[in-house]
Structure 1
Amino acid sequence: MSVSLPQSKLARLLYEQQLIDHPDSELEITQFPGGFSNLTYRLAIEGKTFVLRRPPVGAIKRGHDMGREYKVLSHLYPVFNKVPKTFYYTEDDALIGAPFYIMEEVQGIILHDEKVKNSDTSPDSFAQIAESWLTTFVELHQLDYREAGLSELGKPEGYISRQVFNWGKQYLKAATDDIPEAQQVMEWMETHQPKEVAHSLIHNDYKYNNVVFADDSWREIRAILDWEMCTLGDPLMDLGTSLGYWVTADDPVPLQMLSNSPTILPGNPSRNEIVQRYATLSGNPIRHLTFYYVYGLFKIAVIVQQIYYRYRAGYTQDARFAHLNKFTEVLFRTAWRAVQRDRIE
């Protein structure tokens, strides 16, 4: 959904924060396309560029806490070199009608499907890109979150059971269609939760279009974006979410359409290969794989359904959301099929 921002007020704010030299400089604002969650804008002024993030219209504040996201980035920046530098945050709605924060724009390439399909990216390159992506993922999970001052970010004990309960509760609140597989998946997850063995900082939305690669080398990751769901918990729950987004050419076409990801192109590893490589890099064996994958699909289904619910309730008129309920159904059916087959491919 397009939401305009006050140019002159933001230009003066940038000046007051000593980020530009003149308060009356012309500010060019461009909303980034895509994405179903927080709204993101590029602010271009005096030859510099910044990024502004704000919650979507009609969003639940707890689910789109700009202050929390700002805190995570601010604390990570000194100890983890793959996050943008932050400059300003306010919870006051007065300036733009919502809380927001401003950070640097990290220059590079985001692997959107259309851009990659029109490039000369080879299968060998995709294998190397995936290796860099996985290496960074493991680095994040092995980061000392206490050193970063993020010990109070979440309650890691009992994380799995809380997630299963909370996402199930959110789905029931947003449900619009009768999807038998939804209830089947939720009941199965209730009775198949693995025992938690590790806790770490987890991103909770780690996928290709939330990663910035260097312009001259798609094998170097410069930044991880969209930290709104970051918390402390089981890193395999994080991996499960990423597996849910890792759609391949063998998956149902509607799932490929929803993901809009280059992971369907030749050279990308399969989900099983992703798991095997993650286990090698982390040094930890991965058990209960079906549960973590099903959880990832389940969570994504709930997120998609919540967006559709907001659309149907009239909070947004974005035409992209009109048929998201069909994707919810595909995600739940894919999850239930994984349960029945006890495998992730």
Structure 2
Amino acid sequence: MTAVGPGAPGTPDVRALTAWSVACGVLAPGVEVRIEPLAGGSSNPTYRVRGGDADLVLRTPPVRGGLPTAHDMDREYRFQSALAGSAVPVAPMVASCADPSVIGVPFYLMGRLDGVVHARAETVRDVPPDVAAAAGRALARTLAALHAVDPLAVGLASYARPEPYPVRQLRRWRRQWAASGADPVPVVDRVMSVLSERLPDAGAERIVHGDYNLANVMYERDRPDRVLAVLDWEMAALGPPAADLGQLLAYWGPAGRLLFAERGGHLPDANPGLPSAGELVAEYAETARRFAGNELNIRHIPFWEAFAVIKLAIVCAGALRRGANPSGVRRARIVSLVTGLADIAQDTLKE
């Protein structure tokens, strides 16, 4: 493979990245650096960077059309750095750059891990049912382990806010919806109004991943039932654990089924060994009791599941901003997806 140089479409300038990495001591002077795009990475472009003995992953925000406050590379880097050495497995952080003049956007580098990510139904189908069952339980246990970490003890005090998490999250996502530029979808506005009327007490705030789901977790290649790293921390914050649990259940239910319909199928439907939503909650609750002696309060989980679904709808609407003049067919498909997710959120609030 040859080095990717300046001007290669969609790929960071290898010379600029190399110069910065050498200056920071990440790479040795004189090494040949190669950059290649990696699959996955959600909405954030992700690349493999190799030079000398270094084998790294580069994370960047999209160059065009990201929603305001989304794709926060510094946030990803700081939360994962804080969790290093904890019971929550994360990739090793290497270096971060907030200066967009280096390669055109802020970015960070982390160590590359050789694991397995179940982001598509076909990979989930290939897992033996008993291993899938264990992987699902590990997914729930890892989330409980995250919520057992004291955010102040690991240096995340600066993310504490005087305003309750539900209030600021609702305001943030209202702004994201307005900024998406999507066609009017009345059901989205109705759901946001109902959520604003039912804001729960946030309670004690812990570390919240913000987009926790099976596709954002890497498993060990030789032990596919063990979590190697939790990925994609761009929405991390301090908030109530129930927000993450609601997010996981949103992906596990009809919202995930709709969202993954065009990606080869719903992940939990692809393997009969994966736990049900109720089994995930039970595994999480048992682990939470074991880690911190906490009893899970399920009263507000429907609120957080509905909130998670409407967030997914707004994220999908944001895809219109990232696309360059999307075709009428693509625009109609995204609007249909946004409306369908909003309908699911509305139904969840009625349960």
Q: Same fold (TM over 0.5)?
A: yes
Which residue is equivalent to 2:341? 331
Question: Measured at CA, do residues 30 and 67 of structure 1 come closer, stay the same or move farther in structure 2, by a change above 3 Å?
Answer: same
SS of aligned partner of 1:177: coil
2-side partners of 1:162 and 1:45: how far apart?
42
Deviation at 1:256, TM superposition (A): 3.4
Deviation at 1:295, TM superposition (A): 0.9
Deviation at 1:276, TM superposition (A): 2.9
The match for 1:106 among 113, 125, 137 is 113
Question: Measured at CA, do residues 190 and 137 of structure 1 come closer, stay the same or move farther in structure 2, by a change above 3 Å?
Answer: same
SS of aligned partner of 1:152: helix
Question: In terms of mean alpha carbon deviation, does 178-187 or 141-150 score higher?
Answer: 178-187
Question: Measured at CA, do residues 97 and 169 of structure 1 come closer, stay the same or move farther in structure 2, by a change above 3 Å?
Answer: closer
Does 2:178 correspond to 1:172? yes
Q: For 1:254, give the aligned amino acid.
A: L
Which residue is equivalent to 1:203? 209
Please tell me whether the aligned partners of residues 93 and 99 of structure 1 are also in contact (alpha carbons under 8 angstroms).
yes
Does 2:313 correspond to 1:301? yes
**CA shift digits 1:64-96 (9 cap, x unpaired):** 232232222222214455112222222222221
**CA shift digits 1:291-324 (9 cap, x unpaired):** 1211110111111112223426x4x89x988732
Please tell me whether the aligned partners of residues 159 and 237 of structure 2 are also in contact (alpha carbons under 8 angstroms).
yes
SS of aligned partner of 2:151: coil
The match for 1:254 among 258, 263, 267 is 258
- Structure 1: stretches of 5+ with no match in the other structure: none
Deviation at 1:253, TM superposition (A): 5.6
Question: Measured at CA, do residues 201 and 118 of structure 1 come closer, stay the same or move farther in structure 2, by a change above 3 Å?
Answer: closer
Which residue is equivalent to 1:311? 323
SS of aligned partner of 1:64: coil
Q: For 1:150, give the aligned amino acid.
A: L
Please tell me whether the aligned partners of residues 44 and 50 of structure 1 are also in contact (alpha carbons under 8 angstroms).
yes
Deviation at 1:156, TM superposition (A): 6.6
Deviation at 1:111, TM superposition (A): 0.9
- TM-score normalised by length of structure 1: 0.87
Deviation at 1:164, TM superposition (A): 1.9
Aligned length: 333
Which residue is equivalent to 1:128? 134
Deviation at 1:137, TM superposition (A): 0.4
Deviation at 1:252, TM superposition (A): 8.5
Question: Measured at CA, do residues 306 and 204 of structure 1 come closer, stay the same or move farther in structure 2, by a change above 3 Å?
Answer: same
Q: For 1:71, give the aligned amino acid.
A: R
1-side partners of 2:185 and 2:157: how far apart?
39
Deviation at 1:117, TM superposition (A): 4.7
Q: For 1:3, give the aligned amino acid.
A: G
SS of aligned partner of 1:218: coil
Deviation at 1:264, TM superposition (A): 1.9
Which residue is equivalent to 1:292? 304
Which residue is equivalent to 2:49? 43
Deviation at 1:16, TM superposition (A): 3.4
Deviation at 1:258, TM superposition (A): 5.7
Please tell me whether the aligned partners of residues 205 and 239 of structure 2 are also in contact (alpha carbons under 8 angstroms).
yes
1-side partners of 2:96 and 2:286: how far apart?
39
Q: For 1:296, give the aligned amino acid.
A: A
Please tell me whether the aligned partners of residues 26 and 95 of structure 2 are also in contact (alpha carbons under 8 angstroms).
no
Please tell me whether the aligned partners of residues 67 and 318 of structure 2 are also in contact (alpha carbons under 8 angstroms).
no
Does 2:255 correspond to 1:243? no
Aligned CA RMSD, in angstroms, stands at 2.6
Which residue is equivalent to 1:191? 197
Question: In terms of mean alpha carbon deviation, does 321-330 or 86-95 score higher?
Answer: 321-330
2-side partners of 1:274 and 1:156: how far apart?
32
- Structure 2: stretches of 5+ with no match in the other structure: 1-8, 290-294
Q: For 2:269, give the aligned amino acid.
A: I
Deviation at 1:237, TM superposition (A): 1.0
SS of aligned partner of 1:73: helix
SS of aligned partner of 1:195: coil
1-side partners of 2:172 and 2:15: how far apart?
41
Deviation at 1:245, TM superposition (A): 1.7
Deviation at 1:61, TM superposition (A): 6.1
Please tell me whether the aligned partners of residues 241 and 299 of structure 1 are also in contact (alpha carbons under 8 angstroms).
no
2-side partners of 1:256 and 1:13: how far apart?
38
Deviation at 1:149, TM superposition (A): 0.6
Identity of aligned residues (%): 29
Question: In terms of mean alpha carbon deviation, does 207-216 or 91-100 score higher?
Answer: 91-100
1-side partners of 2:232 and 2:256: how far apart?
27
Deviation at 1:32, TM superposition (A): 1.6
Please tell me whether the aligned partners of residues 256 and 264 of structure 1 are also in contact (alpha carbons under 8 angstroms).
no
Does 2:155 correspond to 1:143? no
Q: How do 1:40-79 residues align onto structure 2 when only pairs under 5 Å count?
A: 40-58=46-64, 59-60=66-67, 62-79=69-86
Question: Measured at CA, do residues 174 and 18 of structure 1 come closer, stay the same or move farther in structure 2, by a change above 3 Å?
Answer: closer
Question: In terms of mean alpha carbon deviation, does 81-90 or 257-266 score higher?
Answer: 257-266
